[in-house]
Amino acid sequence: MTQAASKTDKLKLKIPNKFEVILLNDDYTSMEFVVEVLRKFFNKDFSVAESIMLKIHIDGEAVCGTYSYDVAQTKVSQVIDYSRQNDQPLMSVLRELSV
């Protein structure tokens, strides 16, 4: 084994963990606002956003997207900040995917 080969072996990159961004149901936030958030922050078209909104309404939560930690955390913060600016209690959380 050459020295170059052993250096290459040590440089194996670890695949970053993925995190799901989840929206949670509440009794106050309007369905229209949830659809707006899904379109604005998760780039969903209207029919997909509506389907996810209904899943949130029925099941209490739904995954809106899967991202690296930094992107997922940013999306959660954006959703919460935007919701509060619009006097809505909509909550978003992230959950690490099991490997």
Residues 30-73: pLDDT tens digits? Answer: 999 999 999 999 999 999 999 999 999 999 999 999 999 999 99
16-96 maps to which CATH number? 3.30.1390.10
The answer to whether 21 touches 80, Cβ cutoff 8 Å, is: no
Name the residue ranges covered by the structural domains of the chain. Answer: 16-96
The answer to whether 87 touches 94, Cβ cutoff 8 Å, is: no
Tell me the pTM.
0.84
Instruction: Tell which residue, 3, 4, 77, 82, has the closest CA to residue 37.
Output: 82
- What is the chain's mean pLDDT, rounded? 92
Residues 4-37: pLDDT tens digits? Answer: 555 556 677 888 899 999 999 999 999 999 999 9
